[in-house]
Amino acid sequence: MSEIRKDSKGRRLATGESQDKDGRYRYKYNDVFGKRKSVYSWRLTESDPYPKGKRKDISLREKEKEVEKALRNAVATNGGNMTVLELVQKYISQKRGVKHNTQANYNFVINVIKKEDFGAKRIDKIKLSDAKTWLIKLQDDGRGYSSIHSIRGVVRPAFQMAVDDDLINKNPFEFQLATVVVNDSVTREAITRKQQREFLRFIKEDKHFSKYYDGIYILFYTGLHVSEFVGLTINDIEFDKERIKVDHQLQRTRNMEYEILTPKTEKGERYVPMQKDVADCFRRIIQNRKHPKIEPMIDGYSGFLFLDKNDMPMVALHWEKYFQFIREKYNKLYKEPLPTITPHVCRHTFCTKMAKAGMNPAKLKYIMGHSSMEITFDTYTHLQVDDVKEEMYVMMQKENELMHQEEIVEQLASEEEMEMFNF
C-alpha cells in the first residue's frame, strides 16, 4: 500500500503533487511525447494566502487543470506518423457520391502532392509558415492562382479533419490565400450592350455560324449555365406557361461518358421565365432539330435539343468552341476586337444587366439559381464607376426636376398672394 503524502499543513497531496523543502508545490506529469515535465506554485489551492515576498501566481491545482486541458487538446502521440499525402488520400477516400468534375479535381490534387517534397512531410511538423511557403513555391513553379486555389481547397479541409481527430492542434492552412499568392486569374467580365449587339449581329449574318444564333441568343437572355442549357429537352420548354424547367444538367466525362447531374446547388432547381423572343428561338430550334433513327437517352432523359454529328447530345465543350471560333473570325474582320466571350460570360452579362435594370435582388437570385445573395452580387454583377456615374446622373436629374417643380409651385403661390393684396 502506497504511502499517503501530505503537505506541511497536513493536507493530502494527489498523485503527481509534491512539496519541496522551501515550501513550493510541484506537479509532475508526462506530455504527449512522454517527456517528464513539472509546474510550480507557492499555493496548493486557490484559497491559500500568497506567501510574503513571492510573486503572485495561480495555485498548483489551477495549473493542473490547465495542464489537463492542454493534454486533451494536444497532438496524439502517434498522430505525427501520417504524411500530408496520406492525410489527403484519407480525406478523399471518405467522400462518396461526388460528381465527375469533383473527382477529377481530387485526382489532380493527389498527383500534384505526390510530386512535391511537401507531400512526404509529417503533418505534425507542418507550421503556418511551411504551408504558405509551399503555396508560394507552387506559384513560382508556374502554377496558376486557380490551380493553387483548387489544391488548397482540398488540403485545408483535410488538415481540419486531422484537427477534429486530435492529430494536430491547429490547421496550418487557415489563412487568406490572396495574402500569400498573387491572383493572376482572368476575371470573366460582363460585356457591354454594344459588344453583345455586335456579336449577335455577326452570328446572325454569317453563313456558317448563323445556325448557332438561336442557341447563343438564349444563353444571353436566360442566364442559364451552359451545362443546364445543353441538358434541356423538348419537355423542359413549357411554351404554354412561358417558362423553362431547369432541374438537371448534362455533362460528359473525360472517358466520353454522358451523365445527368443535379444542378450545382439546391437552389439550382427552378423555372426561368421565357420572353417571346426566347420562345421563338426555342420553336425554331425544335423545328430544325435532327430526328435520329434512335433517340439518345441519358439516365432516363431524351429529346435533347442539340445533337452532334454522331446523333449524341451536344455538351458544353461544343458551345465553348463555337464561341471561340466566332470571336476569332470576327476579330480578323474588324479593327475593334471583341473581348473573350464564352457561355459563362453570357450568364455574367445577363445577371449584370438585370441588376442594373433594378430587378428585385431576391427574384434575380432565384432566376440565376444562386445559393446566396452574395454570389449574385459579388460574383456576377460587375458594376464599374461608369455605372455609378450613370446612376448618379439619373438620380440628379430626378432631383433637379423635383426642385424645378417646387420652384414653379412656390412662384405660382407667390403670384396668387400678390394678386390677393393687389400688389
What tens digit of pLDDT does each residue of 206-247 get?
A: 999 999 999 999 999 999 999 999 999 999 999 999 999 999
> What mean pLDDT comes out for the span 191-211?
94
Sign of CA dihedral 119, 121, 122, 125: negative
321 or 53, greater pLDDT = 321
Strand partners, 339: none
What's the pTM? 0.57
The region of weakest confidence among 307-321, 355-369, 403-417 is: 403-417
**Residue 313 three-state SS:** strand
Name the residue ranges covered by the structural domains of the chain.
17-72, 79-179, 193-367, 386-423
CATH code, residues 193-367:
1.10.443.10
Q: How far apart are the first and last CA of the chain?
A: 120
The region of weakest confidence among 23-27, 34-38, 81-85 is: 34-38
> What mean pLDDT comes out for the span 365-385?
61
Q: Give the model's confidence band at 76: pLDDT under 50 very low, under 70 low, under 90 confident, else very high.
A: very low
The region of weakest confidence among 66-75, 302-311, 352-361 is: 66-75
The region of weakest confidence among 1-5, 119-123, 334-338, 406-410 is: 1-5
* pLDDT above 50: residue 379: no
Check residue 145 and give its pLDDT: 84
The region of weakest confidence among 312-316, 336-340, 375-379 is: 375-379
Check residue 375 and give its pLDDT: 54
> What mean pLDDT comes out for the span 352-370?
82
Check residue 414 and give its pLDDT: 64
Name the phi and psi angles at 419, rounded to 5.
-65, -35
Q: Specify burial of residue 230 (Cβ count, 10 A radius: 0-12, 13-18, 19+).
A: buried
* pLDDT above 60: residue 123: yes
The region of weakest confidence among 37-46, 55-64, 382-391, 392-401 is: 382-391
Check residue 399 and give its pLDDT: 59
CATH code, residues 17-72:
3.30.160.60
Q: How far is CA 281 from CA 211, 277, 284, 286, in A?
A: 11, 6, 5, 9
Q: Give the model's confidence band at 302: pLDDT under 50 very low, under 70 low, under 90 confident, else very high.
A: very high
* pLDDT above 50: residue 383: no
* pLDDT above 70: residue 332: yes
Check residue 212 and give its pLDDT: 97
> What mean pLDDT comes out for the span 349-374?
79
What would the 3-class secondary structure string for 213-265 be? HHHHHHHHHHCCCHHHHHHCEHHHEEHHHCEEEECCEEEECCCCCEEEECCCC
pLDDT in tens, 138-150: 998 888 888 898 9
Residue from 187, 305, 297 nearest 245 by CA = 305
Alpha-carbon 206 to chain mean position: 38
Mean pLDDT rounded to a whole number for the chain: 84
Check residue 395 and give its pLDDT: 53
Q: CA-CA distance, 19 to 25, in Å (whole number)?
A: 4
Q: CA-CA distance, 258 to 62, in Å (whole number)?
A: 64
Q: Give the model's confidence band at 268: pLDDT under 50 very low, under 70 low, under 90 confident, else very high.
A: confident
Check residue 100 and give its pLDDT: 74
DSSP secondary structure letters along 44-101 = SSTTSPPPTTS-----HHHHHHHHHHHHHTSPPTTGGGSBHHHHHHHHHHT--S--HH
Check residue 176 and give its pLDDT: 87
What's the CATH architecture for 79-179? Orthogonal Bundle (1.10)
380 or 370, greater pLDDT = 370
